[in-house]
Chain A
Amino acid sequence: MNRLRLGILGITLALGFCPARAAESLALKEGSQVPLVALEDQNGKAFRFDALKGRAVVLTFIFSRCAVPTFCPAMSANFRALQEEIRKDKALTGRVHLVSISIDPAFDTPEVLNRYAKHLALDTSDWSFVTGEKKTVAGLAAAFSVFVDTTAEGTIDHTLTTALVGPDGKIRKLWRGNRWTPGEVVRELHSTLPADKQPN
């Protein structure tokens, strides 16, 4: 990983935006509809976001071999904490689904993600680990302004985006970088899923 690339990545993270974002006219914003692309979950089953309609979705982009503790491992640890918080919270239990999208589909097959999921999640009833065709995943990552690049050492440089999608499939909140906390997401979930609109 050369210093220039690290520098760009650092600045990108610090400022919370992607260099390609300005040029990316299709970049999703708060209020945009989440793309309904065909993906595959950790069990090899077809996955589309519209199958989760009626529930709030929190999604993020990771890859299972990421070796930077403050990147994917931190996002996955945050999601695990979030899963625990949601299950303790009666107003949210059963109303939220977490989705970790791999940006390394060539390596992160459903089998690999299944083992990764077993290590990380309490279970996968409310947390999916998804992969897909290289082109599809790259397009989805780009739409969320996630910059992905293969390094000289063969690993992946990338930025981070985490998103909250409402039960109507519209993006409510985008967090750039790694500074968000599970508590912050829980607060956003409460305003997205008011208790008085809780399904019986």
Chain B
Amino acid sequence: MKNTKSIIPVAALAVAALFTSCSDNSAPVGEPKVVEIHASDNMKFDVTEIQVKPGQPVKVTLKNIGTMPKESMGHNFVVLTTGVDMTEFLTAAATQARNAYVPPQFASKVLAHTKLLGPGESDTVTFTAPKTPGKYDFLCSFPGHAPAGMKGFLIVN
């Protein structure tokens, strides 16, 4: 009995520690937000706004439903942190065909991205929404696509 009495508080502490750990700000919060986005030859995403909670897991599947070749009309989904100069990012991206138009020098500014997709291809990326509420740009970084309107916002609220 003596042993049992000493075990109970220890177990309670362990459970409490577990819950404390689960409520830590760095851990994903809640059910994942699942989003499917279609990209086409007309250079549009069919989803231009994604609403998430701070720290919520996000699972985005991008499908290229176009027919043009990947070299001429590839599409990706790139989410940026706040405070990125879009022109600077796109200028850097345009010269990075070998890196699927995701410039390595902006790696710390990219929250998540899919592969560059050709016709009929799809890719899924999973990431954790930022903890800071705000509007985060997402876009296709293939040259000319974002200026043509292939972009949207991840809204953390």
Answer yes or no: do A and B interact. yes
Q: Which residues of A contact B (CB under 8 A)?
A: 1, 64-69, 107, 112, 115-116, 118-119, 152-155
Q: Is the CB of A66 within 8 A of B144?
A: yes
Q: Is the CB of A112 within 8 A of B143?
A: no
Q: Which of B68, B92, B147 contacts A1 (CB 8 A)?
A: B147
Using known A-B contacts A153-B87, A153-B143, determine if residue A112 contacts B148 with beta carbons closer than 8 Å: no
The A/B interface has a contact count, at CB < 8 Å, of: 60
Name the A residues within 8 Å of B68 (CB-CB).
116, 119
Name the B residues within 8 Å of A153 (CB-CB).
87, 90-91, 94, 143-144, 147
Q: Is the CB of A67 within 8 A of B43?
A: yes
Using known A-B contacts A107-B97, A112-B71, determine if residue A65 contacts B143 with beta carbons closer than 8 Å: yes
* Cβ distance A35 to chain B, nearest Cβ, rounded Å: 26
Name the A residues within 8 Å of B144 (CB-CB).
65-68, 153, 155
Q: Is the CB of B90 within 8 A of A116?
A: no
Q: Give the docked Cα–Cα distance between A112 and B108 (Å).
A: 31
Q: Is the CB of B145 within 8 A of A67?
A: yes
Q: Does B80 contact A (CB under 8 A)?
A: no
Q: Does B72 contact A (CB under 8 A)?
A: yes
Max count, chain B CB within 10 A of own CB: residue among A66, A67, A68: A67
Q: Mark B128-143, 1 if CB is under 8 A from A, else 0.
A: 0000000000000011
Name the B residues within 8 Å of A154 (CB-CB).
90-95, 143
Q: Does B69 contact A (CB under 8 A)?
A: yes
Q: Is the CB of A64 within 8 A of B72?
A: yes
4 A-B pairs closest in CB distance: A154-B94, A67-B144, A64-B72, A115-B69
Q: Which of B72, B93, B95, B148 contacts A116 (CB 8 A)?
A: B72
Q: List 21 A-B contacts (CB under 8 A).
A: A64-B72, A65-B71, A65-B73, A65-B143, A66-B144, A67-B142, A67-B143, A67-B144, A67-B148, A68-B144, A69-B148, A112-B69, A115-B72, A116-B71, A152-B87, A152-B91, A153-B87, A153-B143, A153-B144, A154-B90, A155-B94
